[in-house]
Amino acid sequence: MKTEQQYFEEAISIEQYMNDMSQLKDESFAIYNAFEVPEDEFIPKLKESGFHLLVITEDWCGDAMLNNPIIRKTAEAAGLDMRAVFRDEDTDLIDRHLTNGGRGIPIYLVLNESGDLVAKWGPRAPELQEFVMKSRAQLPDKESAEFEEAQRDMYTNMRKQYIEDPTFWTYVYNSFKQAVEKAF
């Protein structure tokens, strides 16, 4: 069984991942180009940490569309190497990092200089989880004829808010920061 470090060594850069995206690419780059990393104590600590990041992701995922650009900019500000693996190409890795028993993505694995897992974050900030749950609660019953259209509209609205509302970006940054700071 491969270690997280071995997956990292075989992974593609987050830059290559985003450049090669076939879905949600424009949306991801809209967030990437607009997000500004806060000037706080986190980035200097991260620079000194020697950490590197591995994200388990897929380009069709709305949470990845939001989170990957923010975590990428954070990693770049700290000079950290960040790489990406596709969840569905080798499910062994995601199966070690399930969310509530499911293969939720994206999952960010923070590895130290020795390649040991020191922190994990994802798939979304608590405030965004609450937003998603409230949105889902508004959907009609799954057996309803209106369900599929309502769900499609919900996802469209969520993606729009993810792209346009910088508050969501702050939720991601702060939640990721909180998870990683425990590893310092």
Segment 141-158, tens digit of pLDDT: 999 999 999 999 999 999
pLDDT digits (tens, 9 = 90+) for 85-125: 999 999 999 999 999 999 999 999 999 999 999 999 999 99
Amino acid identity of 126? P
pLDDT in tens, 1-24: 999 999 999 999 999 999 999 999
- At 74 the pLDDT is 98
Walk me through the domains of the chain, giving residue ranges and CATH numbers: 4-124+166-181 (3.40.30.10)
pLDDT of residue 111: 98
Average pLDDT over all residues of the chain: 97
Task: Name the pTM for this structure.
Answer: 0.96
Residue 178 pLDDT class (50, 70, 90 cuts): very high
**HSE-up of residue 30 (Cα within 13 Å, Cβ side):** 14
Q: What is the mean pLDDT of residues 46-75?
A: 97
